[in-house]
Structure 1
């Protein structure tokens, strides 16, 4: 059984689901899967994927898990009661063979947002684990451990590393559940406080780490359909988040429409209200410099704010960014695939993105063009016009 607990997912799925419960309980959504890695055939995996999904949809939260969630300062009691009855419903997710997609399978999730939001991370983890188990059944851990040791050595040998903090963001693209558990255990033992936490709630609970995360792209995408006016959808999303969390969980995602529209909307009110911003596409050095300058222009001391970097990070890139911004602003580094799926074989670059909300298209326009995703080119063109984004 690949997924053995509903806590085996990223924290921001719970923080967003709580917001959905309180503010958008009737929203209907659709998600699609995309494999960005060329020349990958997932057709032989479909039987095992569907079996794992059947098992996933039999899971409920245990009382111990609910108690853990209820002790997180930002989780509310009515949401915990909701989760006590919650399980993922199999009718909302379909995986089938399809020649319309280069990888050979179509993964379609459709239903109430409140009841589908927790599918993304475990579905991606299942696809990864089935794929690597089938294609590399006898792969030794030795190379993965050697690479991990090399990364830890770079972090520990970095001069003036007292402010250097990394975290695990790798659940969705991990080699396997057990490999993620082993990597986190090694990181905790060898890095100590340099490991600031993990986005995986199950492993945060197991290892006594801080669970990390706030919002994901789907939240701001859904606001395109749920807000009063498309041009104000990003502002609406930030306002509703502030309404839900009252200043807590204050890391804003900056790349649903690209940097320029983000800075236009992220005015002095949001600069002062939110603790920082997360980078997930485009040039991270340019982004960091612009965020620091933006805070200054909006009468905020950058030393009181945080830059969270999470876009395809490697340890050498983390060190470069740390050297650039250390002492100028708070820093955090969320490392995903390079920590949890670096054992020799090429990792899969797979995503599940929201493509519709309330029956209408939604989209992400990224500063890294290949990270954008929308099924309706007409809507994408309109969205660019509304936000004043030039065609790439």
Structure 2
């Protein structure tokens, strides 16, 4: 596990994370990776449900180990008035509050931004929800998969005429988290140069997805075109697809640049296509995309995956294969760039986890601490907030903290 002796970019930033599962906690993780002190508030007894999602080792999800590294856990009953008072005190001393509850939840606990900012005018509040804090859908429950659907992504995933498929991960939640993190950093800069006041950042899951949908809406506006699913191809860009190899593997080839296309055609022995004036630009290649895809796959089917990739690399044509988890962990490039980290857990075993992105050369991110056990840091965090030991003990006896 990297300890990060170099000062980190967000060192000294205090974050209170009140979210659970993916979107809010991923934003907290990202800030924590770059030095922020992230205090995660969890419900006593159960904690964040992510602790029990997917594959479990020693009683805890291995997903939890990466999602909650560099965080401290406080077990606090937010449904009790005393628990809400404690939360308000922690927030009054924080730079950033992250929450991804349904809109209105914090208001019901007396933690609306107006109230919180009276005690902490510089507070930056990141709110991630299914549909945002305003609008006719704001009160509907929303998960990442629903945001992916409403944002336009699900309609494009899969093959024409078949039920849309998910991309295999909770991409809607993660996109919302990254947009939220960008919002936090932008608001921190604004606070620094414009008088120290904070603000609310309102991120809707579907809007985060929609923001990366490229030309989807402009094409509909200008041409009335509704973009449809196209399997492994990239519609309107050619050639760019996945091609079968003779050993049962698949290579992805992006030969859509004008000069790249000529090198690709030369590499597969089809200079007749590479030198065809009608194929000199993308528009011409799109008109004959089926012919080009057939020519490329005729070549890949005669070769194994490794051989095809070697030839394409020599020709400087962007190409690759679809990596599995095993491929990633064993890949020398991943290892050379510290993208697979060996992380010790609080449960006594080590696990490989993803490295830190992006890579800051002057103030790099680091894994400073393993994911916490539920409530492991309650006493320390409350003591820092000004609670005496006897007060913490009394709160624990009343079940307010754990």
**Superposition TM-score tier, normalisation by shorter sequence:** under 0.3
Query: What is the TM-score of this pair, normalised by structure 2?
Result: 0.24
The structure in which a higher percent of residues are helix is 1
